[in-house]
Structure 1
Amino acid sequence: MESAPIRAAEFFAGIGLVRTALERVKGAQVQVVWANDIKQAKFDAYAANFPDAEDHFLVRDIRKVQSQDLPAGIELATSSFPCIDLSLAGNRRGLVGNQSGMFWEFAKIVEGMSPRPSVVLLENVHGFATSHKGEDLAAALARLSKLNYSLDVLAIDARHFVPQSRPRMFIVGIQKDKLPSQARHDVPLVTDTRPPWVQAIHEKHRQTLDMHHIELPALPTGPQDLEGFVEADVTANLWWGQDRVDAFVRSLSDIQKARFDALLAADAISYRTAYRRTRQGVSVWELRKDGIAGCLRTTGGGSSKQALVRLGRGSKAIRWMTPREYANLMGAHDYKLLAGTPNQQLFGFGDAVVVDVIEWLGNNYLLPVLRPTSAE
């Protein structure tokens, strides 16, 4: 007998990569029946990929969303709330910040839902764990615990699935009467999804809050280079001119220049990504030493954009990464780039979650909880 679809709500939906991932989960159909974001440009990208967006996507400030705006029967609520106040690269205002403080609005809406979702999945940067010396995370966990959720904390770097270094932490909340039999309440062992700092969070809070953990399979190794993720056929005018390439090379430190020259002289063509940094008041370029991309960011300026460097056989070429390459590195190879400007597209992907990570969590964690018979 086929199981009923899992009805899901996607808070801070952005361009819809959580939905993209959930629709790939094997063993049960996941239907996103409600989504929300404040930005019209993100809705436009979402609608270009999901024709039913007009039926369920609410473009509205979450502070103006009411619990009754959501349809009944939602089992899963996902929330990739803004990270700017939690990120180590941000202002570190934490959950009192205007952006990351939207967590409280999400919790308020969930509190008013009847019944509440069986499972909530939250995603944010690792800085959430250290913001205000851990007090922000403790407050968020306590708020969810008051809503009758037992809580698990995980950490996953997207480099296990795509060639992009993108470490993120996840909170999985399960209504206590929905906890599966395999859920344990002791301190989890150190694994690739629960490194020592995550283990310490469980240890710290398990006596005062409802905490659990579920055994998960080991994460895959992941690709080690950008092959298959770089856009092969781009127009020639996207590649930088000689003067700009020369300026790039001149900005490199001695260590960076040695790395650049070694790749330039190699017999094989290879790709590296580079970020522009400010060092001692001077703008310089830094080349990654490995073959994967740095963490894609929202494009608020030149320093947040990532350049692609092609080197080998005495040949060098440099350009900005394209929206299609951003999509590929977010696990969204088939995502249609039909809406928005290139910068809006880069922003949308830099602000999103990696599809493969959510799909893996869906198959190995969410589905066994929400549809245990389908997951067998």
Structure 2
Amino acid sequence: MMGEGGNMDSAPVRAAEFFAGIGLVRTALERVKGAQVQVVWANDIKQAKYNAYAANFPDAEDHFIVRDIRQVEAMDLPQGIELATSSFPCIDLSLAGNRRGLVGEQSGMFWEFAKIVEGMSPRPSVVLLENVHGFATSHGGNDLAAALARLSKLGYSLDVLAIDARHFVPQSRPRMFIVGIQKDKLPASAPQELPPISDVRPAWVQAIHKKHRETLDMHYMRLPALPEGPQDLDGFVETEVAGNLWWTEDRVAAFIGSLSELQKARFDALVGADAISYRTAYRRTRQGVAVWELRKDSIAGCLRTTGGGSSKQALIRLGNGSRAIRWMTPREYANLMGAHDYKLLAGTPNQQLFGFGDAVVVDVVEWLGNNYLLPVLRPNNGSE
């Protein structure tokens, strides 16, 4: 396929980032082999997220539109978009949310994304959607079925897969992805049959394919095995922070006092260990009482948007008879989202925590870019 002035295979993939947030999808796509993806348009409704994005991407003012997506039209996008990404809000789909599904005020923004794609000419060759696993079960699976049907009507063959970010960073963050490829762009390497069970397509994902393959165009791409991922927080936590970030002894005592017997035994064992280790903890409500719970493993729980104490994650440093506790920092959130080099120049600490908790893990999207998106969009340009 030829573009103006040259071979399309040698030109960067032109991408549009819907629900761009603080720009971690762009961060990931720019790491794809040979910088072969270029984000040329982005949108989000929140000025604070634009500010963080602009602090990291000086060209933001040229292509980032701060606007409610319901006020965005296809004509607002530049021509030649080949890839459209959409990490639309998950609050109505998440098990921790209100479960209103795609009729909800937030997650219902999927329909606005689809409406814009419908109006684009030509439509993007590939769309990449990301959301929580709860999307698969929302309203008994009917929300996902409706979304897949809508994308199918736009000419896309569809693939569903699931990736937990813990394969790349020490954070448990399971997410579901939908990849749509325009049917005339579907490569021969994408079988239109039931995918085998694998680490990216466990049995529940295979069941989605099986349910819809008779009525919709479905495919899958053969992908390499996911890496094992780090097993602890070394290299991701800040070992030197201001002393006033660590909790007072009274607050630490209150934390310990809220632990169950099992949790307290786990805590004490780590305090008595010869080596320093880190654990994370969330505040939960059990039988109407607020308690703290440590993770069994040495990685972080899923980072969330900050909206109260239960949504923030505490970091515990234990060992050699000592213990210290504090809230996790924005830099640690950035590291756990695969954005070690992200500049924390804009917004308050809470806005920064919110931005990362609402984002995608860079390494996951980069892996999809290298192993899935680029082989489809630039099959003759050295991608494997």
Residue of structure 2 in register with 1:11 after alignment: 18
Residue of structure 2 in register with 1:55 after alignment: 62
Aligned mates of 1:230, 1:193 — CA distance in 2? 28
Aligned mates of 1:93, 1:329 — CA distance in 2? 29
Task: Please give the TM-score of this superposition, normalised by the length of structure 2.
Answer: 0.97
Aligned mates of 2:52, 2:72 — CA distance in 1? 21
Residue of structure 1 in register with 2:228 after alignment: 221
Pick aligned residue for 1:174 from 175, 181, 186: 181
> Are 2:354 and 1:347 aligned?
yes
CA displacement 1:98-138 (0-9 Å, x = unmatched): 00000000000000000000000000000000000000000
Aligned mates of 1:211, 1:44 — CA distance in 2? 39
Task: Please give the TM-score of this superposition, normalised by the length of structure 1.
Answer: 0.99
> Are 2:286 and 1:279 aligned?
yes
Residue of structure 2 in register with 1:231 after alignment: 238
Aligned mates of 1:232, 1:176 — CA distance in 2? 50
Residue of structure 1 in register with 2:300 after alignment: 293
Q: CA deviation at 1:47?
A: 0.0
Residue type at the aligned position of 1:21: A
Residue of structure 2 in register with 1:358 after alignment: 365
CA displacement 1:120-165 (0-9 Å, x = unmatched): 0000000000000000000000000000000000000000000000
Pick aligned residue for 1:42 from 16, 40, 49: 49
Contact 1:28–1:367 under 8 Å retained in 2: no
Aligned mates of 1:89, 1:240 — CA distance in 2? 28
Stretches of structure 1 that go unaligned for 5 or more consecutive residues are none
Residue of structure 2 in register with 1:152 after alignment: 159
Secondary structure (helix, strand or coil) at the match of 1:35 reads strand
Residue of structure 1 in register with 2:257 after alignment: 250
| Structure 1 consecutive aligned stretches of length 4 or more whose deviation exceeds 4 Å | none
CA displacement 1:317-338 (0-9 Å, x = unmatched): 0000000000000000000000
Aligned mates of 2:180, 2:238 — CA distance in 1? 38
Q: CA deviation at 1:373?
A: 1.4
Aligned mates of 1:373, 1:258 — CA distance in 2? 57
Aligned mates of 2:239, 2:265 — CA distance in 1? 27
Q: CA deviation at 1:28?
A: 4.9
The alignment of Structure 1 onto Structure 2 pairs a total of residues equal to 376
Residue type at the aligned position of 2:88: F
Residue type at the aligned position of 1:212: H
> Are 2:69 and 1:66 aligned?
no
Stretches of structure 2 that go unaligned for 5 or more consecutive residues are 1-6
Contact 1:6–1:28 under 8 Å retained in 2: no
Secondary structure (helix, strand or coil) at the match of 1:372 reads coil
Residue type at the aligned position of 2:165: A
Q: CA deviation at 1:233?
A: 1.4
Q: CA deviation at 1:186?
A: 1.2
Aligned mates of 2:57, 2:13 — CA distance in 1? 18
Aligned mates of 2:190, 2:362 — CA distance in 1? 25
Residue type at the aligned position of 2:375: P
> Are 2:82 and 1:82 aligned?
no
Q: CA deviation at 1:27?
A: 3.7
Aligned mates of 2:335, 2:12 — CA distance in 1? 28
Contact 1:86–1:125 under 8 Å retained in 2: yes
Residue of structure 1 in register with 2:104 after alignment: 97
Aligned mates of 1:220, 1:182 — CA distance in 2? 22
Secondary structure (helix, strand or coil) at the match of 1:316 reads strand
Residue type at the aligned position of 1:138: A
Aligned mates of 2:174, 2:231 — CA distance in 1? 16
Residue of structure 2 in register with 1:324 after alignment: 331
Q: CA deviation at 1:198?
A: 0.1
Contact 1:5–1:31 under 8 Å retained in 2: yes
Secondary structure (helix, strand or coil) at the match of 1:9 reads strand
Contact 1:230–1:325 under 8 Å retained in 2: yes
Residue type at the aligned position of 1:224: Q
Aligned mates of 2:34, 2:254 — CA distance in 1? 53
Residue of structure 1 in register with 2:343 after alignment: 336
CA displacement 1:38-77 (0-9 Å, x = unmatched): 0000000000000000000000000000000000000000
Secondary structure (helix, strand or coil) at the match of 1:110 reads helix
Aligned mates of 1:373, 1:310 — CA distance in 2? 50
Q: Quick one: percent identity of the two aligned structures?
A: 85
